[in-house]
Each structure stands twice: as structure tokens, then as C-alpha cells.
Structure 1
């Protein structure tokens, strides 16, 4: 089967879940290309496992020959289809004109993509994210005369629901990564609930081969955060929690990731007298993250609800940590409690509650056998539901069913 995967940006360090699926589709014998709506991100770090995907990713310029030509051809050969599309977009985004203008800007390249799909013999288009990628996939599928589907992850459904029911009705299926997302989408007026399929994100099976963390002993209790340094990740609350830890607890923390708040968070740590105990490691490739997981005792995922409802789905770092049998402390938001079940596979805290994070860290440090047992149960849950090889195979089967 020839599959086209549509994303907003490529490459993107924080979207390994999408690229892991592509690698797996190819391992299963399918031919895959990646279309990114925005221009290629030349300065972005590329994980080793996805270097081979770079040559198979492409886009069209917003006012390129293919885009302008496709718009002109559509206006001449399928004016009703183009008129319906423009009316749908104008109607759906009447209350959010900025987002609507963004859609209008990429309509020509989405039309060009549809013509490319037809020439290339694409069998199925799958969009990662229910926002712009799914809209572009829907437009391309209309032009190419093929089926499409899309994944619903997190803020792609929480921030704006414009066109969501319409896209779902045309899609062969809608993949939701959590039961939380399914419940959210089922409540949307006009959304076809029968199209929903639960298929988690996942980690590669080899991650389950880790021997598990060493118990705290000689040396400090090692705390790890991995993720973007942006508001909705809640890292400032983790730093406040670290400042509240008891003076007699020997600890060190590593913060792995980059983002707009990197300087502010480093300043916060210095102001609290923690700069000698917190290492800001910057963005790291997946292979380096694995090494950090191998030396940690606990992973903290202190997510909060961001602006306009932006928040997590189920962060892959939770899956990565539990695959290594590491105990996880995470905020009880969105679909996280489906994986990090309080006192079973980890500890849950209210979002933004630094004192609760500090108490949870003390609990892990004080009772390592109980913490290790949570990590082991978490590994079992990941093995049962969150392995990318299994979940990518499910996605391919759904694509084949809806061809």
C-alpha cells in the first residue's frame, strides 16, 4: 500500500510518535511519503532513527507553480467542489478568522497535493493531528479520489473544533490516542462517533528490554524531566517543587528539552539557589534521552492546561519512562491517568501544584520498593497497550479496511 502522511511541520523534535509510525509502516512493507504543510525546518535536530525519512518528506510553496496551477485547474475543472470547500472554510472559521486565513493560505498546496497523490498512486492519506493536517488531507483526498483518516492527539482537538465533525464524516476513520479524547469528541455536536478508533501512541518494543533503574544508594536521588520548555509543560512548578524538598534529601535534577521558557526557567533556578543541582541539558535526540532514562530514579511530567485549552494527550515520555520501569509523577490532566494510574503505575498530582510534586518526590525517595513496583506495573501496561509496532500495525489494518 502507498501511504501519504500529512504533518504541519517537519522535522520536529517533539513529534517522534508520528515518525515512529512511518518507520514501522515501511518495516511492514508499505511505501510511505511525508507531506509537511509548512516549510522544511532546516535548523531542527533530527533523531537518528528518522534520518532516512528526510529524503521522503516534501512540500509545495504557498505560491509555487504546483499550488497556483492546481488552484487554477480546480477553478476550471471542478468549480463546484472548490466553491463548496471555500464555503465550508468560511462558515467554519467565521468566529476564528486568523485560523481561517491560515487554512485559506494552504488550500492551493493541498489541491496540488491531491493531484500529486493521484499521479503517485497513493492508496491512503493519513494526517497526524486533527487540525491543519487533517484539513489538508481532506482537501487532497477529495481531489485524488482516495480515502483519508486522521489522528486526534491533544490541543489539535481542544483548541478549535472548527470543521472537525465535517472532516470526521468524510474520513474513513478517526484515530484517537486516548479514551479521554474519544469522550471529548463524542460530545461534539454532529461528530460521527462510529468513526472513532482507540489506537495509542507507543514506544518501540526494544525499550522494554531495559533492566530497570538502580535503587538510590550511593550518590544523589536523580530526577528527570524530558519535554519542551513551554508554559503548558509546567516546568516552573517542578522547579518550585525542587526548592521545597527537605534539606536532608540529596538530589540532582536534569531538565532535557528546549523552548521559549528556557532562559526564564534557568533564571528561576538560580534565584532559588538550585542552579548547582539542576542541569539544563537542552534539546536532545532520542538516543540521548534513552541514556538519561537509564540513569534516572524518577521522571516528572508536571503538565498544566495552557492557553486556549492547550494541553497534553498522553505524553510519550510517560511511556518511555515506564518502559524503563521508572516510577512516574505526572499531572492528572487529559488522558494521562489512563497510563499513569495513581499509586498503581505512578503518582498523580493536581496540575500546577508544586507542593504535591514535592510530596510525591519524597514518597518515591522514601519507599523505593513501592516505587519500583509501580514502575514494574507501568512497564507491563506499556507492553500491553503502548508498543508502536503493535499500534502501527493496527493503524495500517484500519487504512486497509477503509480503502
Structure 2
């Protein structure tokens, strides 16, 4: 196979913001898929892990992980060696020119940190890397691009959500012009980036999809709960970090608007900086005794919750700083298990969920509309069954991650064939 033959001729250094991360299973899934397709990877992480748990896929990834200095002052000798070695690299003049151009538009410590990390990477150059690939087009792509300029090694990029929408247009323009190609996982992100570069042919849409081997068909019976039995309340589930863009305050307010005769319980899986505030809000809304905050869980535990839930809810929104989800992987996961989902018309969500056909989609930041959808789902088990079955069908027909891996393989192979 041409793709596999070419893949064996390139060692790819994959630059990540942090590794491993529970909230980025889509990246781990892609890394494992590329390895299975024959690609030779070394992972370059800008941060050390903070999660206490790991997903099974992390243990299956064979690639070595190299950690860059997270903060330059923590490893001054390593950074100094990188700086000194950079003066012997072919692209040092071009790098300083680009750096000062960027610095004039973004005078920040972060900009110096990315330069220092790039110099460390260029000096240490793990495993004789022959290609650079960044996950996220903000800070990981800055390190990757600076390294590429310094060493002359080509680079490519996978852009996702926050990194697109919180990056200034000038920076996206520069990176899209420098990378050999860039992929992104939602049509809204794809169309936005194409407006920022004349190289429109170098921007590609590639849905992450789901590893369906890990999320096999669930043939068990779904409950017939309709919210009428206090002893057997409907089970509403959400999985996601407690951060602004996930809209959990909207979801809690929606729960508080549900009729008093409707019996339900809500479970949240995930960490996040806003958890304590959400718990206070839940108490203020008199919801605390109906909510369980489970924290971060491993993938197999999350799968078990999908299979027991009646409704999956995620009230995505555009955050005050422009941050937003792309297509939340948890919606794809829940749909694969026949759980009917309620979410909002933000970013890539409507690319998965069609309101009334395989889920419910409401406007963002609208607790009343979300509450109406929740009540409709809870009171009508037959509706849940119809939407859940349609959701699973759509995922298995259109969101198999093997298609994304094949597309990435072809993109890499085409570039490498040009260089041969």
C-alpha cells in the first residue's frame, strides 16, 4: 500500500499541548489510529500530565513521549543549550525575523516561551524526526512553526475549536501560509480558515469520528422511565469539563425550570475550574439533592454511564473570549450508544444532530428552550428510542474514525511523494 510504504520513511514529531489528557481522547484515538496504519510517531508535549487517570487508548499508544520545559525558568540549562545551538541552525535569521514580527503584534511572555521551547526541540531533535505535526493551531502550532523555520523540516497541523476561534486572524493567516496543509474537524472552522488564506486547497475538513471498536453497538434495553415515578426518576447525563463554553449554568437553570411533577436525576462526569461555582449554583436553585458530581472518569466508566442514561445533555455556547466547541466528541460517543442527545446550534453540533431526526437542537444560552426539550425527552420513551436509534445509525455511517485516519494518511503520503 502506497500510504503505508511512504509512512515508514518518515518519523513524525507530533507536538501536543499536553499528554496524556482525559479530555482529548479524540487526539489519542487519532495517534493510535496512525500507529496502526504504520506511521512512526514521537510525541512532543509542552506540558506534563495533570490528570490522575488514563484512558485505555493511552496505554496502547507505543510512541515515546518527550516533555519540553513547561516554563523556561524551570529548566534554564536546557533552554540555554537550545538557544546556543540555535545559532548554528540554517533558519536562525528567518526565525528571529518571524519572531520579532510576531512579538510586535503579541508582546507576551507566552511568545518567548514558545520560542524557547522551539529552540529546545530543535537542539534535542528526538528520534531523528523528519516531519513536524501540531495538534491545535494556537500555541502548539507556534512551537511547531518556529521549529520548522529553524530546522527547515516541513510541518502540518490539525486545528480543532478553541485554537481557531481564540487566535487572531493575522496569526492564523501566517500559519496557514506556512504549514504544508491543515485539517480541522468542523465545517464552520474549515470555512473560517479558508477565508484567511489564499492557499484554500491546503485546508481540509476531516471529522475525528469515533473508534467504533471501543464503542460497539449496545443491544440492551433502554428504560421506559417517563418521569412519573419518584422511586425511578429519569437519568439525565452530561460529560464535559466545567468551563464556560460547555454551558453548564444554562443546563442547571433548565433543570430548575422542569415541572414539579417530573422526576429526574442528573449526573455530571468531568473536572474543570468551574465545578465549585456550579455546585453553588445548583444549591441556590434547590437542585443539589438531585445531582451527582462524579469528577473525571476513565473511558470504560463513561461508556457504562452512556448505556444507563435516558438523555444526554450538553448546552454548548460561545464563551466570552470567543472559545467554543468544535463537534464535542461526547455527543458522538453518546449517540453511538443510542442515547438521545440534546444540545445547541453552536459550531459543529448541527453537523451531527438534526433537530427532531436524531436528537434535539436548541439555541445556546436559552434555559427555557432547553427545559422544553428535556421535558419532551423525559416524558416520551418512544421518542427517545426513535431519536437514539437514528443517532447511532448516523454515527456508524458517517463518523467512523477510520475514514479520518485514511484521509490523514493520504495527505501525508501526497506531501512525502512530492518530496521524494
Q: Secondary structure at the match of 1:248?
A: coil
Deviation by residue 1:254-277 (Cα, 9 ceiling, x = unmatched): 011111111111122222222121
Q: TM-score, normalised by structure 1?
A: 0.92
Q: Show the counterpart of 2:42.
A: 33
Deviation by residue 1:243-300 (Cα, 9 ceiling, x = unmatched): 1111221211101111111111112222222212111111111111111101001111
Q: How many residues align?
A: 396
Q: What's the CA shift for 1:43?
A: 5.0
The answer to whether residue 143 in structure 2 is matched with residue 133 in structure 1 is no
Q: Secondary structure at the match of 1:6?
A: strand
Aligned pairs for 1:3-402 (under 5 A) are 3-38=12-47, 40-53=48-61, 56-61=64-69, 62=72, 63-78=75-90, 81-98=91-108, 101-117=109-125, 120-161=127-168, 162-188=170-196, 190-206=197-213, 207-211=215-219, 214-217=222-225, 219-402=232-415
Instruction: Return 254-263 or 27-36, whichever deviates more.
Output: 27-36
User: 2 CA distance for matches of 1:266 and 1:42?
Assistant: 22
Q: Show the counterpart of 2:4.
A: none
Q: Secondary structure at the match of 2:104?
A: coil
Unaligned runs of 5+ in 2: 1-7
User: 2 CA distance for matches of 1:54 and 1:301?
Assistant: 33
Cα 1:203–1:158 change in 2 (3 A) is same
User: 1 CA distance for matches of 2:62 and 2:219?
Assistant: 33
Instruction: Say whether the 8 Å CA contact 1:173–1:195 is kept in structure 2.
Output: yes
Instruction: Return 60-69 or 198-207, whichever deviates more.
Output: 60-69
User: 1 CA distance for matches of 2:401 and 2:111?
Assistant: 31
Q: What's the CA shift for 1:191?
A: 4.8
Instruction: Say whether the 8 Å CA contact 1:129–1:152 is kept in structure 2.
Output: yes
Q: Secondary structure at the match of 2:364?
A: coil
Instruction: Say whether the 8 Å CA contact 2:317–2:346 is kept in structure 1.
Output: yes
Deviation by residue 1:363-402 (Cα, 9 ceiling, x = unmatched): 1123332332222222222123322233123212211211
User: 1 CA distance for matches of 2:321 and 2:21?
Assistant: 22
Instruction: Say whether the 8 Å CA contact 2:346–2:364 is kept in structure 1.
Output: yes
Q: Secondary structure at the match of 2:321?
A: helix
User: 2 CA distance for matches of 1:316 and 1:123?
Assistant: 31
Instruction: Return 381-390 or 168-177, whichever deviates more.
Output: 381-390
Deviation by residue 1:205-233 (Cα, 9 ceiling, x = unmatched): 12142226603237221100100011221
RMSD: 2.1
Instruction: Say whether the 8 Å CA contact 2:207–2:399 is kept in structure 1.
Output: yes
Instruction: Return 212-221 or 199-208, whichever deviates more.
Output: 212-221
User: 2 CA distance for matches of 1:376 and 1:312?
Assistant: 25
User: 2 CA distance for matches of 1:375 and 1:141?
Assistant: 46
Instruction: Say whether the 8 Å CA contact 1:3–1:125 is kept in structure 2.
Output: yes
Cα 1:264–1:58 change in 2 (3 A) is same
User: 2 CA distance for matches of 1:307 and 1:213?
Assistant: 41
Q: Secondary structure at the match of 2:87?
A: helix
Instruction: Return 49-58 or 236-245, whichever deviates more.
Output: 49-58
